[in-house]
Structure 1
């Protein structure tokens, strides 16, 4: 009777090993699919961020140009100039966010101040 119990235990152990191996394969496939989906969501989020930055810059330029034309009476020229300026600012923002153009260094932003001098004034 003990030989029969050993045999049935070994059979069950082999069956459980096979089931575990199958489960591990399906878990690996599910993890890979989840990783691909996470990468896709990340790419979509970056695309939405970049496009919204660009559109916002163009809209702000157009709105400021319209307001300039309305209050100063300059005709379409303020709208045209500031719309083009907004377009340029949008392209620059997208390129900075994408890492193609470095953001300005803090010292460069303070160009008129003592950015080139050392602490002891020399």
Structure 2
């Protein structure tokens, strides 16, 4: 029979993953080109913010254009929905910057509030 042992904790799993990544050379130990100190995660965050802004506006424009064609109300649908899309894009950026745009149960580092646990 197999041993009845508890599953590893999240900290143990994270430590194992870090060690495996380090062994495979997947964790960068030095800054990217230029030595400016930017990391992959910083560039990823910047790209995500840019995409959130542009996507919000583009979706608003597309919906506004569709509404104008359907309701024959040009240019009001396009104007209103472009503004709504821009506001949605800014709200998404705000959520990303504050760490609220992640999977269910996400807690920021150092968050001591009780989340129903």
TM-score bucket (shorter structure): 0.5 to 0.7
- Separation in 2, partners of 1:97, 1:35: 25
Give, in whole Å, the separation in 1 of the partners of 2:30 and 2:54. Answer: 30
- Alignment-derived partner of residue 85 in structure 2: 86
CA RMSD of aligned residues (A): 2.4
- Structure (1/2) with the larger helix percentage: 1
Cα distance in 1 for residues equivalent to 2:30 and 2:94: 27
Q: Which runs of 5+ in 1 are unaligned?
A: 1-32, 104-122
> Paired residue for 2:29, among 31, 34, 40?
34
| Separation in structure 1 between the aligned mates of residue 43 and residue 51 of structure 2, nearest angstrom | 12
| Cα displacement (A) at 1:35 | 3.2
In structure 2, the gaps of 5 or more residues are 1-27, 102-117
Structure 2 distance, partners of 1:39, 1:73, is 49
**Which residue of the partner structure matches residue 75 of structure 2?**
76
Moved over 6 A (4+): none
TM-score, normalised to structure 2, is 0.54
